Amino acid sequence: HVNNITPFFGHKPNMLLLLSRGAFGAAAMQTFYYSINMLPLADAVTLFFLNPAVTTISAWAIMREPLGLVSAVGVAVSVVGLVVLTHPPFIFGGAPDWDRTRVLGTVFGISSALFAAGAFISIRVIGKREPALVLSVWFHTVAFISAVIPLGIGVPDHAVLPSGIDCFLLFLIGVTSFWGQIVLGRGFQLLTAAKASAINFTQVVWSYVFGMMFLHDTITWFGAGGSVLIAAGAVMVNLRQPQEKSKEGKAAGAGPAAGTEAEAAERVAAEG
């Protein structure tokens, strides 16, 4: 409940991490929207979901989360999928659809994946010290500020009053985005960064379905092949590593006392 969230914007020791979660998340959203406008929906979403690979590498480098052989291969497969999906002409030869719009859309799509990985790592570092609602509040607050100020000065264009149907659609975007961010943040608190981002990859399937149903997008061999490879890489990243199973087994064998101590430490961290 909102009344039980105090302070509403989180605790002071976590402010920089909360700000980074909001800033990375807002940047990911804005570059993702640019990418959607320039690429087929499925391609834009697939590029965004390179973030499991980026998140895995970042979590290994920053948080020392385990990176096994299977996960490393999964990252490599995702990169190959990126190359197939974008099919740059210097690798595949002539590419008639590789125009300025596609280049910019691809750049924005990859940027959105990088920014999203930064947001996910911020959430993982914060852990359970802040409720999921606080994480969502920071994302939407920073996103609002970073959009209102440029629009107020006419960048990239002056704001206009939307029509009735546009207002309704924008309202739906706001509501679904808000609650989506809450459950997304909670998922990253409960799972490792790699697992949570890989599960989140199911959005790619829906992007193909909705793109064909509502936007009349067509599926290309490059798009489908790249998506399959990136999905395969995400699944490989999501596979449990032997060392993870071993650690879980040791933790389970430590008995209830160990669990009690861990829960107590968690509560102290949450209160602090």
Predicted confidence at residue 238, as pLDDT, reads: 67
| Two structure tokens written together for 42 | 């499925």
Asked if 219 contacts 44 with a C-beta cutoff of 8 angstroms, the reply is no
Sole residue written with tokens 């861990």: 262
**H-type helices in the chain, by residue range?**
15-38, 41-48, 51-58, 69-86, 89-92, 100-126, 132-152, 164-190, 193-199, 203-214, 221-238, 242-253, 256-271
DSSP assignment of 226-265, as one string? HHHHHHHHHHHHHSPPHHHHHHHHHHHHT-HHHHHHHHHH
pLDDT digits over 188-217, tens only? 778 776 677 667 766 777 787 888 888 888
Nearest to 244 by CA among 66, 75, 21, 60: 66
Predicted confidence at residue 67, as pLDDT, reads: 78
Residues of the chain with pLDDT under 70: 1-6, 90-97, 193-194, 197-198, 201-202, 238-272
The number of residues making up the chain comes to 272
Predicted confidence at residue 108, as pLDDT, reads: 94
Predicted confidence at residue 9, as pLDDT, reads: 80
| Two structure tokens written together for 21 | 């979660």
